[in-house]
Structure 1
Amino acid sequence: MFVFEKANHNFRKPILTLGFILITMLTLFFDNIDSYAFTPKKEFGFSIVGSIFFNTSFTEWLTNAIYLYMFADNIEDVVGHFYFFILFLFFGILANLTYFLFHTNSIIPVIGTSGVISGILGMYFVFFPNVKSTMVFEKATFRDIPIFISLSIWILIQSYFYIVELNNQVRSVYGGQVITFLMGIIIAQIFIRYKFLDRLDHNIRLSTFINKTVLCPSCSNPIPTEKYGRLHCSACNTNFFFDRHGKKFL
């Protein structure tokens, strides 16, 4: 299953997101990538961090790069470059530590950015729950699905895969993806408590012509407006009402 966002505007340039995509692309040309992989039974070292910048194949890199490009730029936009850098490393380390805790004696190495992406998706789930998305299965495609629904289905599938493989005594990284997704939700709630989203919205409105632009609550697309009232976002086809007390969906 794949989840694609339909539209979500960002205002900061996603410097780190693009940088991480570039770094993970360059590591494709490294020789003997297993030496950079994280193996629980070995001593901890650079691999617990370095492994998150490697991928096993071009296809895996391309999939991860697409997810980073679609979702990570908006998270970087909300929390800022510094916090995004810390979160990127944190989610990667957390995913590896989860694999270590569940498979302490495993000699199977793991590499990849999937744990980081899961954490980012968890934050996206909280920050932009009503952004429209497209869900793609093997033989079916569902369009204009609110992202909180599609990501809920996605994490349930990851959890199911982990339970199945755990019962079959198969070493997998699905457990790390589930944990980082849930941690992403928790961290996003903390950011909301400290009004990062409100601060972003306020700063953007102050930077526009006499505060006559409002951000769509679904996709953050800037919408010119002369007054309070009912508004329509053409980017994500969302209707909402905006007044001095804030925004609400219609």
Structure 2
Amino acid sequence: MFPVSDDNPTRITPYVTYGIIAVNVLVFIYQLSLTPPELENFFYTWAVVPSQLTKSLLGEPLQNQAFPEWITLITSQFLHGGFAHIAGNMLFLWIFGNNVEDRLGHVRFLIFYIACGMLAALTQWFFSANSNIPSLGASGAIAGVMGAYILKFPGAAVTTIIPPFIFFPFRIPAWAYLGVWFIQQAFYGFASLNVPANIGMEQGGVAYWAHAGGFVFGAVLGPLLGLFSNRDKRYSP
């Protein structure tokens, strides 16, 4: 399922959403400038490597580490493994992020986004604590945005296509689209347990547990940060 657009307008300019997209694109452009060995080293330095994070949490020293390992829970959110990876993530953020930012406000949305990404990465780490495969991407944070969106805008119509089966756009409620997406991530997460990992995170390079965890944490953190507060007063004359 591939989202195209939604019909839920925002009333503030989503500067944070735009800024996050810009940072991701700039980092990806930098990645393209690196040679394969440099890119591998870049990923192992700034992405979450579960085994290294485990050692750090246990107080074991890490060689050639100039910063605390937990920093990678943030930096990994701005790394991507290819064009399809970043394009898909930024599309989902573009569609769902602006409306959640509208409800939370700029500062709280930024806190919410980063927190969801960190908690999503920790969820993935929990299920692969000894893995040496770098964990990277904005998917966990964006899943958090989607978890908040389904609570606040369950009836919003999402226009979508389902390649390779349905290529003409059709509209379904957000609760149906995002609900099916979450069930898929949870199912694939369970299916990927005890399966050897490829480059990326889990089977096929997809961090299903980060997606599912981010979605759940987004649904929890959104209301705590004011997702349902009455912000409409800002627009009263």
* Shorter-chain TM-score range: 0.7 to 0.9
Q: Give, as a single letter, the amino acid of the residue that structure 2 aligns with 1:83.
A: R
Per the TM alignment, residue 195 of structure 1 is displaced from its structure 2 partner at its CA by: 4.3
Matched residue, 1:149: 176
Whether 1:202 and 2:236 are equivalent positions in the alignment is: no
Alignment of 1:152-171 (within 5 A): 152-170=179-197
Task: Write the distance in 2 (CA, Å) between the matches of 1:78 and 1:114.
Answer: 21
Contact 2:92 2:142 in 1 (8 A): yes
> What does the per-residue CA deviation read over 1:50-87, in whole Å, with 9 as the maximum and x for residues that have no partner?
01011111221111111111111111110001111111
* Paired residue secondary structure (2:231): helix
Which residue pairs with 2:166 in the alignment? Answer: 140
**Alpha-carbon distance, 1:185 to partner:** 1.4
> d(CA) in 2 for partners of 1:160 and 1:53?
26
Structure 2, unmatched stretches of 5+, are 57-68
Kindly report which structure 2 residues correspond to 1:1-250, keeping only aligned pairs within 5 A, or say none: 1-28=1-28, 29-30=30-31, 31=34, 32=39, 33-34=42-43, 35-42=45-52, 43=56, 44-138=69-163, 139-140=165-166, 143-170=170-197, 172=202, 173-191=207-225, 195-196=228-229, 199-204=230-235, 206-207=236-237
Residues 103 and 228 in structure 2, CA contact (< 8 A), matched pair in contact too = no
The answer for unaligned runs of 5 or more in structure 1 is: 208-250
What is the CA–CA distance in structure 2 between the aligned matches of 1:118 and 1:16, rounded to whole Å? Answer: 16
Aligned twin of 1:229: none
1:184 and 1:23 map into 2 onto residues whose CA distance is 21
**How far apart, CA to CA, are the structure 1 residues paired with 2:70 and 2:154?**
37
TM-score (ref. length: structure 2): 0.79
Distance 2:4 2:189 in 1: 23
Deviates more, 1:111-120 or 1:134-143: 134-143
Alignment check: 8 A CA contact 2:140 2:214 kept = yes
Query: Greater helix share, 1 or 2?
Result: 2
In terms of fraction of residues, the more strand-rich structure is 1
Identify which of structures 1 and 2 has the higher relative contact order when contacts are C-alpha pairs closer than 8 Å and 6+ apart: 2
Give the paired residue count: 203
Partner of 2:64: none
Identical pairs, percent: 27
- The question of whether the paired residues in 1 share the 8 Å contact of 2:119 and 2:217 is answered with no
Larger Rg: 1
Q: In the aligned structure 2, how far is the partner of 1:70 from the partner of 1:149? A: 16
In the alignment, the residues of structure 2 paired with residue 64 and residue 106 of structure 1 have an alpha-carbon distance, to the nearest angstrom, of 24
Q: Which residue of 2 aligns with 1:233?
A: none
User: For 1:85 and 1:191, how far apart are their aligned partners in 2?
Assistant: 11
